Amino acid sequence: MRAVLVVNPQATATTPAGRDVLAHALASQVKLEVVETDYRGHALAAAAQAALDGADLVVAHGGDGTVNEVVNGLLTAGPSAATPMLGVVPGGSANVFARALGLPRHPVEATHVLLRALEEGRTRRVGLGRVDSDGGHRWFTFNAGMGWDADVVADVDRKRGKRTSPALYARVAVARYARPRHRRPDLTVHVDGEEPIEGLRLAFVSNTDPWTYLGARPIHLNPGCAFESGLGLFALRTLRPQTVLRHFRQAMSATGRQRGKHLVRRDDVARITVSAPEPVRLQCDGDLIGERTRVEFTSVPNALVVAV
């Protein structure tokens, strides 16, 4: 088996020693090439090249941004039987995709799980989300959003001198809510088979649940959402403090059950389109994509094989 290990040395929990342990362990089972990323988009390019070269496995060692780039590189030509298998060894602060797969948070423990999966031929097919807009398309593994969350991602990106952490995201989210840089967006959501839903202030689209984590605490927006189902939609008609606090408490609860008169929520949806009269920021898996006025989110079942 030919494999490529893509490592982001800048990820929060990635260390040279951990990288060496992982590379040594993988090299005992596969013919291994190691790529260390040094610029945004490098992991995407490395994974795309690995797919072109006929690699059997590409392992992403880093945070959710690294995983997202690797996934997008693997699927440059779209899902097919020739797409290399994905392996994930978490090395970031949140590691939402890895945790949704049930992988350990510690890189060494996750490495052992990956090695056993390769030995035993254990794999899992997962569905992904795809974003289509004027700027092309982008795959996402666990969530995408337009509005407040994308503004938070943009602000965190500007603080690249700091190590990302749940605490940093929480502080930025509160600051951006209290002092929005722009007028609250005016979003319209189109769900197949329904009339357009207008006047929304934010829209989150999930490919699995939890939507994200605050440290060890899962944040639930669409508890019924999974890699084997369609997309989940969570949208709010207002961002008044009482509404935001109500749904935050519900998201932090054990069940994650969401209810409220200003809430628009759907599960297992094949396609969701979000439009706005003015450009609104868009994020995928915590990576800022840019500003868009119309975005289509599509569920793509069985898009990727993951070694778990």
User: Do both 239 and 289 map to the same domain?
Assistant: yes
Of 256, 280, 257, 259, the C-alpha closest to 189 is: 280
Which amino acid appears at position 156 of this protein?
V
> For residue 184, what pLDDT is reported?
83
CA distances from 251 to 93, 145, 271, 294 (A): 20, 16, 23, 27
**In the block, residue with structure tokens 């952490």:** 165
In the listed set 121, 142, 172, which residue is the last one of a domain according to the structure?
121
- Residue 308, domain member (yes or no): no
CA angle, residues 240, 245, 248, in degrees to nearest 5: 125
Query: How many domains, in total, are found in the chain?
Result: 2
> For residue 181, what pLDDT is reported?
62
- Residue 128, domain member (yes or no): no
User: Do both 177 and 40 map to the same domain?
Assistant: no
> For residue 161, what pLDDT is reported?
52
Residue 244: CATH number of its domain: 2.60.200.40
Cβ burial, residue 190 (10 Å; 0-12/13-18/19+) = middle
Round to whole Å and give the CA distance between 86 and 118: 11
In the listed set 77, 99, 121, which residue is the last one of a domain according to the structure?
121
User: Do both 199 and 117 map to the same domain?
Assistant: no
- Residue 22, domain member (yes or no): yes
> For residue 170, what pLDDT is reported?
79
Residue 29: CATH number of its domain: 3.40.50.10330
User: Do both 22 and 46 map to the same domain?
Assistant: yes
User: Do both 143 and 108 map to the same domain?
Assistant: no
In the listed set 121, 151, 172, which residue is the last one of a domain according to the structure?
121
pLDDT along the chain (308 residues), means of 10: 95 88 94 96 98 97 96 96 97 93 93 95 97 91 93 79 68 78 86 95 96 89 95 96 94 92 97 96 94 97 97
> For residue 182, what pLDDT is reported?
66
Domain of 97 in residue numbering reads as: 2-121
